[in-house]
Structure 1
């Protein structure tokens, strides 16, 4: 499918919402959200996260969707078309570049989840109790590259089929499956003896635990959890029918994001509290602490396997969205056939992911800068600098430059004034705070 035919390849209303939700509910909510919630105040942090979604997430999400549908192009060309300036298109290209490099390391982490699903179902995950050692040995070897390849092959096969027959159908299959797994695992976790303490930690707020740092981390999580700044929602906006209410879609995607985070918390916190695991363990919570908990519960191999299948589903739905951003750019800018764009860009992301994976200890551990693996640096630069800058560009563009925002947003006069106020004055300041915080410019206690 080339760039011309792709112009008529649109989402249905339900397909768009499912695809946008699939993009948003990735590894960030299931892997990152639980441990930062544990570190920064439990239920109080969760409530703060929801407030931040309303203040920063919804306004920026609506802005990205409106720009994409108004421009009917990729994350770069939409800005050029709507502004008449190539300078704005160059700024939009930053999100395309970010999505490309994010896909390179995201495929690696998604591969880890597939590996752990297989390990759990076979029972091999629980053969020895050194889960930290097992994880470090795995990511420090060559095996992750094979699993990364599996993720990339699945992602490429979905994207080759296009928007409606590929991305939409894939998400219509996986998102309901994801919901079933979430509910099943949440019921199982909350039925464990002693699970009430974990549920209380997650749902009963203690606002004395909140700090200035908690607020900035909640802002960052609200921002990242909706896949903002990657060009995904601008790209998806270009595939949305004119009859689709993007205001309603924004609310639906945001609500789906909150429900996903809620169910993730109801799976993880009861489980770790029952088995005496600290909720502040950091990234190792999922790949080290939770396997220890699964090993101690009845049918642990089954539930552990289902949990990592859930992670895999979430990872791959997001991977499909991320890779679509540079694919859309290549088909429109270079006039590549869609199949060629998907195969070439998928192959490049995979090849770049190899040294990133090996920098964690698989023979290329010399690839470090200031003692930090290149994998971590690429993650840091993309997630904490490129994404906030790209979102800042969108908010300024939608709030001050683009004159068609009112019509394209489809909002009533009252809602539009509120959204315009948020996107002009509130969201840019909060995005800038997130950028300065994660870049290390400002520090709070």
Structure 2
């Protein structure tokens, strides 16, 4: 283990490290398997034909997601700095450090609305376990009433305190220990809920929808959606993997870690599908019913099944764990930046940024029904989500691919690949990933449209 230093700043590199390969991989998986896999993945799969879309997602994950993930981890370990300075310390010019700031700003903005959704999951977990969620059969009105009140801010504050408590304890003492406990716990909950879902009457129709591909339903737009989700589900373009890479030991195989994180993300998405689709089909719910699937449709399903309060509570606890492990990695990105940039202590950095995140989350919460806060055609919540997810993340990923593919002289040494695999990796970074990411960017921003 590398000895700890008194600070993490400057060209000396960060003194903190993950204490083990297992701890690092679990933390990276915790970052990757967030709410997107359980909340977003089911309904976009439902909208795009089920199993065929899932296979397309796997292809995108392997062809583009994994090469970019390896590049981010390698840049972080080479630079031993923040998501911005690692580009410079790895051998790039100052312009790369400025471009890297996108990967510091993006996670901050994402946290400001993600912390609200994390609060929703905590609220719904308590409501489910207490049985109160079934007292009102109009679940759409129930959700609207909740998000249109001040309660989401209370729960967001609770979630922010939990996340700050973990990050303030450092890399090995906080983030690593947190993920070592919660990731296995999350897997156990996934398996329990999957068994319950596939044994429901009529569940096999949902299993068939998820696992029997109909390629006639695939469209060019579905391809770009699958690619964008593969990118988002691995936490790419938001600085988390670069930041985590900065705390990885030199003896760690980044290629093996990349495969492990990709496999963890894929397994999580697969089991999530075997939870969502059997449940929706068993209770006659449209699996393409949009983001409201989780907070409106599924509570209705849980209320109708035996011991629904228990399984609903476990489901929302699972969502809460996924949200919190992702938020921990997101918070660490700006924390690392300000500790390095202004020589702040970890305590001051975590407390200051956590407070700022919560304050910026207030207009997002209010815009959900209390106050009319709009930017263009979006309310404030949706605008921050749209801008961070559809503009900053693709740009952040594009910067990584261009740097690693064209400008980084020591890419081969840091990636640790054999000559054959390095050539394949470099080809994907130079000629495949950047082009596809440009298409994702144009599509997600509405510039490229399909009839």
Which category describes the TM-score, using the shorter chain as reference length?
Answer: over 0.9
Among 243, 250, 254, the alignment partner of 2:251 is 243
Question: TM-score, normalized by length of structure 2?
Answer: 0.97
User: CA contact under 8 A between 1:395 and 1:424: conserved in structure 2?
Assistant: yes
Which residue in 1 is equivalent to 2:144?
136
Which residue in 2 is equivalent to 1:374?
380
Which residue in 2 is equivalent to 1:358?
366
User: CA contact under 8 A between 2:8 and 2:16: conserved in structure 1?
Assistant: no
2:88 paired with 1:80: yes
SS at match of 2:237: coil
- Compute the displacement of 1:54 (Å): 1.0
Which residue in 1 is equivalent to 2:26?
18
How far apart, in 2, do the equivalents of 1:391 and 1:251 lie?
19
Which residue in 1 is equivalent to 2:48?
40
Which ranges in structure 2 are unaligned for 5 or more consecutive residues?
A: 1-5
Question: TM-score, normalized by length of structure 1?
Answer: 0.98
- Compute the displacement of 1:36 (Å): 0.3
How far apart, in 1, do the equivalents of 2:29 and 2:187 lie?
11
Which residue in 2 is equivalent to 1:7?
14
Which ranges in structure 1 are unaligned for 5 or more consecutive residues?
A: none
User: CA contact under 8 A between 1:3 and 1:337: conserved in structure 2?
Assistant: no
How far apart, in 2, do the equivalents of 1:372 and 1:411 lie?
45
2:283 paired with 1:275: yes
SS at match of 2:391: helix
User: CA contact under 8 A between 1:62 and 1:247: conserved in structure 2?
Assistant: yes
How far apart, in 2, do the equivalents of 1:151 and 1:183 lie?
25
Among 416, 432, 436, the alignment partner of 2:438 is 432
Which residue in 1 is equivalent to 2:3?
none
How far apart, in 1, do the equivalents of 2:146 and 2:203 lie?
31
Which residue in 1 is equivalent to 2:393?
387
Which residue in 2 is equivalent to 1:166?
174
Which residue in 2 is equivalent to 1:339?
347
Aligned residues: 443
Counterparts in 2 of 1:58-97, with a 5 A limit? 58-97=66-105
2:424 paired with 1:421: no
2:413 paired with 1:407: yes
SS at match of 2:156: helix
SS at match of 2:441: helix
SS at match of 2:90: helix
How far apart, in 2, do the equivalents of 1:337 and 1:73 lie?
15
Q: Which runs of 4+ in 1 moved over 4 A?
A: none
Counterparts in 2 of 1:82-121, with a 5 A limit? 82-121=90-129
Which residue in 2 is equivalent to 1:126?
134
Root-mean-square deviation (Å): 1.0
SS at match of 2:251: coil
2:65 paired with 1:49: no
SS at match of 1:229: coil
User: CA contact under 8 A between 2:7 and 2:15: conserved in structure 1?
Assistant: no
- Compute the displacement of 1:84 (Å): 4.3
Which residue in 2 is equivalent to 1:252?
260
User: CA contact under 8 A between 1:18 and 1:175: conserved in structure 2?
Assistant: yes
